[in-house]
Amino acid sequence: MSTASIARKDAIAEGEKLRSALASTPRPPRASALSATLAFGWRGRLKVKHVPEQLLDVTITPVMFVVMFTYLFGGAIAGSTGEYLDYILPGILVMSVLFTTVYSGVALNTDVTKGVVDRFRSLPIWSPAPLVGSALGDTVRYLIAGTVIIVFGVVLGYRPDAGVPGAAAALVLVVVFAFGLSWVFTTLGLLLRTPSAVMNAGFMAIFPLTFLSNVFVEPETLPSVLEAFVNVNPISTLANASRGLMDGNVPGGDVAIVLGTAAALTAVFAPLTSHLYRSRG
Amino acid sequence: MTQMTTNPALAIEAEGLVKVFGTTRAVDGVDLSVAGGTVYGVLGPNGAGKTTTIRMLATLLRPDSGSARVFGHDIAHEADAVRGLVSLTGQLASVDEDLTGRENLILLARLLGLKRPQAKERAGELLDAFGLGEAAGRLVKHYSGGMRRRLDIAASIVVTPQLMFLDEPTTGLDPRSRNQVWDIIRALVSEGTTMLLCTQYLDEADQLADRIAVIDHGKVIAEGPPAQLKASVGSGTLHVRLLDPEQRDEAERILAGVLESVHLEADPAALSAPCGDGDRAAEAVSGLSHAGVRIADFSLGQPSLDEVFLALTGHAAEEHDTEADSKERAA
């Protein structure tokens, strides 16, 4: 009985505070498209802070690949582990960042299944703001994933010929491509039912594409059919471009193709994501 | 605080709303008319079409036919204007589990147009008012059910809405948390916010709502003030449970002498009968004990949602249509 009456008093005290909290809310002018987008970018960065496991998952795998491939196969593939590290590291940078993009789709699907999306969709804001803001916020995640790999390579003895500016240029290029690719996974995130389905489908696509590229081996060593595929795989072009940037011989053609592919992916899949997002039940 | 009383337009005016999922008519021609500044209860079992109706009114779902206006704005053609007036809470819309309570409120405040310092201030004020000050820096995934629900409601009133959709705001809460949520709702109403409250509990609708619509299979089957609705069902029910099920036939005979339409419950020791009058109930119960029928317990209660449904539809309020319900949730 006494706890009930205390609870009652608490509730009444809260009610008083609530009334004052309610009485002081003049409706502000609407948030601009930019400030709504920035707010969602902020949310994305907070998630990196609060859910670091996700980033850890996708960085540990590439780190293991660097160690395993360099020290197990490096001597056999390239003659020495040092030489192979020079070859593989820019490729692993690509792999690491592209793996991270899958999580953009997983995160969007989680928002849908948890019902957070419904709150966002009921707000009077520029409707693509949650998507664009998250995509921009996720680039922070990509930058971290890429930086971890480059730093790890340097620890193992990797020294890019083009130094810090070269490595930074390669990182930026990979992140720009990842931004484009992330729209494929956000589309997937709105089409599939559960976060784990998105994760499985995402890795089922990205894993073979990464292996059937020049990330790990020179394509000339492959059977001709495979070589042909590897040479048209955009991940190969991206790995070539990032190698070139790190080595200091800027591969203009490859960079242009990478930027063009990123733009094309964005042009197709960003509007598709936005359409699915707005028209979902 | 000045309200939008210059235009006495209805808060919600819906005509013939229909939503079909596959072959299920989840909402099958719903008309609603909700006056500004009132609490309107929508009562029905899971899968009756309550959530789908709200999702259409809140511009999250396009009706397949019919139309609705929120404070005069068409939900299909002026969706953005509608979004500027409403907010969602309960099972409809959620808060972000991976952020802290404070971050959730700051995010919403910024999305609603507050500048960063004002957003922080507003978040602090609300956390305090909702008794979440201490938990403000914890991730929402570590909140209890009651704390979450309060944060959810706080998130809906970062900027005071004209119309609030509450979808089963107290389902799954303990009695204390439920009372807190009810107090919050009453405070909001006294500030002039219109509420559309979906609930499975007649008790809740009765406590809070000015009018109630009972919805079943996507249709409104009864509408009116709670008192009128309950009167149409009978104002109460006497429930009796016996120590010895063997005595039930005798008990039925004795009760039938005092009360009308005695009903044998599924529990072999239980009986019930509609009864609005305490004296008649006392007479019936003392009749049982005089005759030597031993009573385990008895109660005189409000009609339950089950009884309302039984009276209105002739079938119990079972959770029919689970398929439509899961689609509703997935949608």
The complex scores an ipTM of 0.87
Which of B21, B94, B126 faces A21 most closely, judged by CB atoms? Answer: B126
Contact check, Cβ <8 Å, B158/A36: no
pLDDT tens digit string along B239-255?
Answer: 899 999 999 999 999 98
pLDDT of residue B304: 65
Residue A88 has pLDDT above 60, yes or no: yes
Mean local confidence (pLDDT), A182-195: 96
Taking residues B198-227, what's their average pLDDT? 89
Which amino acid, one-letter code, is at B269? A
CATH no., domain B12-231: 3.40.50.300
On whether the CB atoms of residues B52 and B26 are closer than 8 A, the answer is: yes
Domain boundaries, chain A: 32-279
Q: What is the mean pLDDT of residues A11-20?
A: 66
pLDDT over 50 (residue B4): no
Instruction: Please report, rounded to a whole number, the percentage of residues in chain B having pLDDT higher than 90.
Output: 47
Cα(B288)–Cα(B253) distance, integer angstroms = 10
The token duo for B155 is 């998130």
3-state secondary structure chain B: CCCCCCCCCCCEEEEEEEEEECCEEEEEEEEEEECCCCEEEEECCCCCCHHHHHHHHCCCCCCCEEEEEECCEECCCCHHHHHCCEEEEECCCCCCCCCEHHHHHHHHHHHCCCCHHHHHHHHHHHHHHCCCCCCCCCEHHHCCHHHHHHHHHHHHCCCCCCEEEEECCCCCCCHHHHHHHHHHHHHHHHCCCEEEEEECCHHHHHHHCCEEEEEECCEEEEEECHHHHHHHHCCCEEEEEECCHHHHHHHHHHHHHHCCCCEECCCCCEEEEECCCHHHHHHHHHHHHHCCCCEEEEEEECCCHHHHHHHHHCCCCCCCCHHHHHHHHHC
pLDDT tens digit sequence for B50-93: 999 999 999 999 999 999 999 999 999 999 999 999 999 877 66
Beta carbons within 8 Å of A244's beta carbon, 6+ residues apart: A250, A251, A254, A255
- Residue pLDDT, tens place only, A16-63: 776 777 765 678 889 999 999 999 999 999 998 998 887 887 788 889
Q: Which residues of A touch B160 (CB under 8 A)?
A: 22, 25, 27
Helix (H, G, I), strand (E, B) or coil at A24: coil
Which residues does residue B68 pair with via DSSP β-bridges, in sequence order?
Answer: B14
Query: Quick check: B179 and A119 CB within 8 A?
Result: no
Measured over all CA atoms, what is the biggest interatomic distance in chain B, rounded to whole angstroms? Answer: 75
pLDDT, residue B127, reads 94
Mean pLDDT of chain B: 85
User: The domain B236-301 is classified under which CATH number: 3.30.70.100, 2.40.37.10, 3.40.50.10490, 2.60.40.10?
Assistant: 3.30.70.100
d(CA A129, CA A152) in angstroms, rounded, equals 35
A13-17, B11-15, B168-172 — which is least confidently predicted? A13-17
Q: How far is A167 from chain B (nearest CA, A)?
A: 33
In this model, does residue B8 exceed pLDDT 60?
no
Q: CA neighbours within 13 Å on the CB side: how many for A24?
A: 14
3-state SS, residue A264 = helix
* Residue B326, pLDDT score: 43
d(CA B259, CA B300): 13
Alpha carbons A278 and A43: distance in angstroms, whole number: 20
State both tokens at A179.
Answer: 């931004």
pLDDT of residue B7: 43
Of these ranges, A8-12, A194-198, A213-217, the one predicted with the greatest mean pLDDT is A194-198
- Summarize the confidence of residues A166-172 as an average pLDDT: 96
CB of B79 less than 8 A from some CB of A: no
Domain ranges of chain B: 12-231, 236-301
**Looking at chain A from residue 128 to 157, which residues have their Cβ under 8 Å from any Cβ of chain B?**
129
> Between the CA of residue B250 and those of B150, B206, B218, what are the distances in Å?
50, 35, 42
Confidence category of residue B9, pLDDT binned at 50, 70, 90: low
* Most confident of the following: A82-96, B2-16, B179-193: A82-96
Query: Whole-prediction pTM value?
Result: 0.82
| C-beta neighbour count of B101 within 10 angstroms | 30
Residues in chain A: 281
B93 touches A at CB < 8 Å: yes
Rounded Cα distance between A76 and A142, Å, is 31
What's the average model confidence in pLDDT over A123-150? 94
Give chain A's count of helices (H) and strands (E). 12, 0
The answer to whether residue A85 scores a pLDDT higher than 50 is: yes
CB of A281 within 8 Å of any CB in chain B? yes
Average pLDDT (B200-215) is 89
- pLDDT at residue A212, as a whole number: 92
Q: Average the pLDDT over B161-170 and give the result.
A: 91
Report pLDDT for B306: 66
Instruction: Return the pLDDT at B145.
Output: 86
The pLDDT of residue A169: 95
> B1 at the A interface (CB within 8 A)?
yes
**Local confidence band at A193 (pLDDT 50, 70, 90 cut-offs):** very high
| Residue B164 in tokens | 């609030």
pLDDT of residue B183: 86
Residues of B in contact with A29 (CB under 8 A): 113
pLDDT at B114: 94
B293, B251 contact by CB (below 8 A): yes
Tokens standing for B125?
């004020």
Q: Does A47 touch chain B (CB under 8 A)?
A: yes
Kindly report, residue by residue over B104-160, the tens digit of the pLDDT.
Answer: 999 999 999 999 999 999 999 999 988 899 999 999 999 998 899 889 989 998 998
Set of chain B residues whose Cβ sits within 8 Å of the Cβ of A22: 157, 160, 187-188, 191
User: What is the arithmetic mean of pLDDT over A183-204?
Assistant: 95
Q: Angle B164-B170-B171 (CA atoms, 0-180°, nearest 5)?
A: 120
Partner-chain residue, chosen from A23, A43, A121, that has the shortest CB–CB distance to B107: A43
CA distance A127 to A46: 21
| pLDDT surpassing 60 at residue B330 | no
